[in-house]
Structure 1
Amino acid sequence: MANKNEGLGKTIIVVLALCLVCSIVVSGAAIGLKPMQEKNAALDMQKNVLDAVGLLKADTNVTEAYGQRIDTMVVSLKDLTVKDDIDTVSFSNRKAAGDPETSTKLEKKNDPAGLGTREDLTQIYLVKDESDETTGLVLHIRGQGLWGTMYGLLALEQDFDTVKGVTFYEHKETPGLGGEITNPNWVKTWQGKEVYGEDGNVQFEVVKGGASSKHEVDALSGATLTSNGVEYLVQFWMGENGYGPLLKKLREGELNNG
């Protein structure tokens, strides 16, 4: 009996030791790989930004093109200032949205996109031409689709109203239906559309039966909930609870460091 107990005890000790060693190895690997993961994530986002403004080609040197044509900054949507003390490479909009200290809980009536919280700090991307003049802006957008959150980037022309391009780089929508938000032919229909009406309010819509105005894009066939989600997320982010006040500041040239 004693031998059996001793054998069982040794087995448990070996198992526990193996678990401890494995946990140490996994933790060490995660910590060691974190800088590389952050670097790859930053590179992917650079590709997405260049894609949104039509600067990503098959032979594009992403790092070089991004450095020459894009200025990245973190801004506060609460006090409308640039946060120069925040590292733009390691900063994450998602982390900011999930942190109570850097986000605002949204009331249901002010949350058509189904976000729950809005990040108070966000990255924005100023687009420059060859002479270093600002020619546009790229903004993070997100909102609920049929099966989950749709993450994208909306590129605007110099007037901060006319759409230059859009890209949805992450989503869970149904392939062939809502998943068509990544279809280049549909994405192209956004170009030249205007977000705001003459009264300054958001007029953008995703409509069934064919877009007929400068504020409309066609709905996706067979994907009503996804199409509605896209409309709602644009209306939220470009409105008063999203980027609306920030865009007004940018038009007036009054964005300061904070």
Structure 2
Amino acid sequence: MESVQDRLVEFSLEAHDLYLNKTVPHLEGPPEPLQFYRDWISPNKPCVIRNAFSHWPALSRWTPKYLREKIGSKVISVAVTPNGYADAVAGDRFVMPEERQMSFSSVLDIIEGTVQKTGVFYVQKQCSNLLQELPELVDDLEPHVPWMSTALGKSPDAVNFWLGEANAVTSMHKDPYENLYCVISGEKHFILLPPTDRPFVPYGLYQSAVYQEQDGGSLDPSGPSGPGPGALPAVPVSPASLLHSESWRDAVPSISVVPPRPAVPRLHRSEFLV
């Protein structure tokens, strides 16, 4: 086993030395599809693309006032957690958010701070919630990005709309598909690890649970705890711990000689992350 770990360490080091960037590069415009596939998609390398959707009306239209007028009465799915971590390990369980049905205006009231509620509210439902729940907003953008669809040879499987505050955090995970993120307002921080560092990510098996609002207003996990059938693989550490080598060494004491070296891009308004 020690020999296997040594080879994995060497593999990660060589990948970082040979082709992985220490920072996420920026492109100053939409790429040609073939070049984009060759330079970024095929080698599994991220990049930030600027000036690629400046023609979208959403950049100027999507203010709280506009959204209230356009879709304020629409009832949407909202994830609610006590600390902003949805689909995350808490104690000995993998806890999913409580899902509430609320009007869009009610969510804006909470995020803007005009209404006080316990918990962190995050519009994060996937499965193409933009097209399914908020079709009124489709005319404000492109439901598929032409150069990306051409590069992949297909239209997107899902087009999602996310809205949250600074405390809303996406837990550490891996996706089996390509992602294209765009920021209309505000900014989003990402912590990215290359596939070659996957052996250093600690996974455990956890029973699934769901946050539920209690009579006193608190949000507590409801569901089985401890080992048992139906346990799910999940990462028990916060993504932020990757930025602090000592925290990561504590989490993975057996492979602490080469802590992962994550890329940490900040995605600002009018930028894509691929």
User: TM-score scaled to structure 2, two decimals?
Assistant: 0.24
- Relative to its length, the structure with more helix (as a share) is 1
Bigger CA radius of gyration: 1
